[in-house]
Amino acid sequence: MNQPKEIEPAEAFEYLKRESLPLIVSFSLEEEKGYVITGKGLCYIEQVFGTSRVRLGRFSPHRSLTAMKNAGSFYATFDIEGRTYGCIMENITADRSFLICDIPGIISPFYRKFVRVEPSRKAPVLLFLSTDDHGTVSYPIRDISERGIGFVIDWIPVISNKLTCGIYVPVDNGIFILTPAVIAYNRKIQKGKGHETGLRGGDAISCGLQLFPHNEDEKKIRLYVMQRELEIRKKIQDML
């Protein structure tokens, strides 16, 4: 894999403005009371103020501007000469049609290939695993892409590193997918940080699985992700 070259943040934003290239922005959005998901939008750089501040405008959907103002910070990704970078944008000053925020101190390579969404609480995606200590267990997942899922648990089940998992996806009246998977990560987190976990008190374990679905099953997951993205976009557009 070719490593993205290092680039100064102010230089990157000047390039994006000069070439009229968009930023893809991701921000926290409360879909229901106490249930936070990730909203996404698109905007362009309208002005760069030296190496300190930048003005962003031409938001799509337009209501994403309000969501980012309320969130207080957001994550931005962008392409420069075929390479993708990401950064956190903070210290926001908002107007009706634009945001002014700090140019970050650092931008980093962004390697994620697949779009990832959080399911609706009303229509969850469910993961089923066969464990050595508790038999078959199920979890509502936190996020899903064509090749990966994330979920939060309060204990680490005894499972093999290479496994077959079942996934219930609420698309086309509900489908059930079996796919090989491997454990991508597990790490301790504080419950309630960033996303509702459905767990109480103390610490939890954030887990991730890399999926290797059949081509036809991958298409089904992709369809769900696309439909969910449209649902979230409508949620943003309907914001007061």
Q: Which residues lie across from 164 on neighbouring strands? A: 180
Which three-class secondary structure state does DSSP give residue 212? coil
Does the CA dihedral 58-64-69-72 come out positive or negative? negative
Residue 174 has a pLDDT of 94
Confidence of residue 154 (pLDDT cuts 50, 70, 90): confident
Mean pLDDT of the chain: 89
Q: Give CA–CA dist 176/178, Å, rounded.
A: 7
Q: Taking residues 96-124, what's their average pLDDT? A: 93
229 against 68, higher pLDDT: 229
Residue 189 has a pLDDT of 82
Instruction: Flag whether pLDDT at 206 surpasses 60.
Output: yes
Confidence of residue 196 (pLDDT cuts 50, 70, 90): very low
Instruction: Flag whether pLDDT at 170 surpasses 90.
Output: yes
Residue 174 has a CB neighbour count (10 Å cut-off) of 10
Confidence of residue 194 (pLDDT cuts 50, 70, 90): very low
pLDDT tens per residue across span 35-75? 999 999 999 999 999 999 999 999 999 889 888 888 889 99
Residue 155 has a pLDDT of 76
Residue 166 has a pLDDT of 97
Q: Is 128 within 8 Å of 138 (Cβ atoms)?
A: yes
**CA 26 to chain CA mean position, Å:** 7
Q: In what order do the strands lie in the sheet with 162-169?
A: 135-140, 126-131, 162-169, 175-190, 203-211, 148-153, 143-145
pLDDT tens per residue across span 129-146? 988 888 898 999 999 999
Q: Taking residues 144-171, what's their average pLDDT? A: 88
Residue 197 has a pLDDT of 41
